């Protein structure tokens, strides 16, 4: 048994001063306060002094980092990406595909399914974040709001194409971004939900009525709100109006001050609140790397002044999730507890990861230790202290 001690422990519901967090067999075995309990005599004690213990960060939208893309065939790519993620407090993530020729996408899904299955077995390195499922972003996106997704590879939603993607992933798709206004989208939304996939509306030119219909059909999340979406107008609020006001919806945002102005991040966080807001990165291979020329899927982009750009259009980010936590504190005045909820419990809930994003007894012991300003001191995966 391992006993972790620190200055404080944060979950969405609680702040415990002087905590004792017990870990056994890679799971949380209990959380107590030193004022009311003693450390078990047989436990190995690891003290983080002035640190704050919280659930490990979970990134739902990650295309890569450390010079590598999640769709690469290079066997070392995920190792580099996951090592980089852990440094920034991310203990679990959904590798995210970008629109590409369907055969290439399926090949990537097969490799990612291998990675997800390997991560669930004993012996996975404690120095790497775990891939916990797959997010498919494309090919069911609006040509009008495609961003940098190649138009030639966009496909009309169909059960047949969804089946092909599903089979290639061996059922490991946890999140799917889709434009609900496309012909066939509602049928695919219904089918995906039947299979336990969380449907996220995004890269969409949907009006308010269509967005509401998708939510009525079971869509429950929105992808990088404001970006690659029909603009909000006060007499034509469109998809953004529905996303911000429908309490059934969670929604994510790229809180880097580049994709959305800090004032808009503040508006979003106040609209969705600590219960409905999710912080993501939409990070690319360029994350953690110098300025230069990089690739994502089947296209290339350049990075300069913190912006990833392909043909004048933003192409993902170089944001890290711990920086997104700190930005939400700065932009919106949120405290660390609320900011961490948007990067831990909420994304875990969106992806259906019932045993992560929590420090409840029996949860996987994925943890991050931060200082009071949200800077990462240590990340721990499955209770293994690397």
293 exposure class (CB count in 10 Å sphere: 0-12, 13-18, 19+): exposed
DSSP-derived secondary structure letter, 268: H
Query: What whole-number distance in Å separates Cα of residue 243 and Cα of residue 200?
Result: 11
Whether the upstream peptide bond of residue 139 has omega within 30° of 0, thus cis, is yes
- Neighbouring C-beta atoms of residue 304, cutoff 10 Å: 9
Do residues 343 and 57 lie in contact, with contact meaning Cβ atoms separated by under 8 Å?
yes
Do residues 257 and 247 lie in contact, with contact meaning Cβ atoms separated by under 8 Å?
no
282 tagged catalytic? yes
Catalytic residue among 282, 298, 302, 371: 282
Query: What whole-number distance in Å separates Cα of residue 59 and Cα of residue 142?
Result: 24
DSSP 355-386: TSS--STTSB--EEEE-TTS-EEEEEBTTB--
Contacts with 299 (C-beta within 8 Å, 6 or more apart), sequence order: 148, 150, 310, 315
256 sits in the region (left: phi over 0; alpha: psi -120 to 50; else beta) called: alpha
In the chain, the N- to C-terminal Cα span, in Å, equals 16
Rg (CA), the chain: 20
Six token digits for residue 298? 């089947």
Do residues 114 and 124 lie in contact, with contact meaning Cβ atoms separated by under 8 Å?
no
To the nearest 10°, the Cα dihedral for 345, 247, 320, 323?
A: -90
Six token digits for residue 241? 């109006």
Query: What whole-number distance in Å separates Cα of residue 296 and Cα of residue 95?
Result: 13
Query: What whole-number distance in Å separates Cα of residue 169 and Cα of residue 134?
Result: 8
Six token digits for residue 333? 């005045």
Query: What whole-number distance in Å separates Cα of residue 375 and Cα of residue 373?
Result: 6
Active-site amino acid positions: 282
């Amino acid at each position: 048994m391992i006993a972790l001690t620190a200055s404080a422990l944060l979950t969405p519901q609680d702040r415990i001063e002087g905590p004792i967090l017990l870990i056994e067999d890679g799971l949380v075995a209990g959380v107590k306060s030193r004022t009311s309990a003693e450390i078990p005599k047989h436990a190995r004690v690891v003290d983080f002094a002035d640190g704050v213990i919280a659930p490990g960060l979970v990134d739902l939208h990650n295309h890569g980092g450390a010079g590598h893309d999640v769709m690469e065939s290079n066997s070392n790519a995920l190792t580099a990406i996951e090592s980089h993620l852990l440094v920034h407090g991310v203990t679990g993530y959904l590798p995210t595909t970008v629109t590409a020729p369907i055969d290439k996408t399926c090949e990537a899904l097969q490799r990612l399914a291998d990675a997800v299955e390997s991560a669930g077995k004993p012996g996975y390195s404690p120095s790497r974040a775990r891939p916990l499922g797959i997010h498919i972003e494309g090919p069911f996106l609006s040509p009008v709001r495609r961003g940098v997704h190649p138009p030639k590879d966009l496909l009309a939603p169909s059960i047949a194409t969804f089946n092909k993607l599903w089979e290639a992933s061996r059922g490991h798709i946890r999140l799917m971004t889709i434009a609900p206004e496309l012909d066939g989208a509602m049928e695919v939304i219904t089918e995906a939900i039947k299979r336990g996939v969380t449907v996220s509306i995004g890269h969409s030119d949907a009006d308010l009525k269509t967005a509401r219909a998708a939510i009525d059909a079971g869509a429950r999340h929105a992808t990088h709100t404001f970006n690659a979406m029909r603009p909000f107008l006060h007499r034509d609020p469109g998809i953004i109006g529905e996303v911000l006001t429908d309490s059934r919806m969670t929604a994510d945002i790229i809180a880097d001050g580049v994709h959305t102005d800090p004032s808009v991040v503040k508006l979003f966080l106040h609209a969705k609140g600590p219960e409905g807001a999710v912080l993501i990165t939409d990070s690319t291979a360029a994350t953690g790397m110098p300025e230069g020329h990089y690739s994502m899927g089947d296209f290339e982009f350049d990075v300069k002044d913190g912006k990833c750009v392909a043909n004048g259009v933003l192409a993902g980010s170089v944001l890290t999730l711990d920086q997104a936590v700190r930005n939400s504190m700065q932009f919106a005045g949120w405290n660390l507890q609320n900011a961490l909820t948007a990067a831990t419990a909420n994304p875990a809930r969106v992806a259906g990861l019932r045993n992560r994003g929590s420090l409840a007894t029996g949860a996987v012991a994925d943890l991050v230790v931060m200082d009071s300003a949200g800077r990462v001191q240590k990340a721990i995966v499955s209770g293994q202290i690397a």
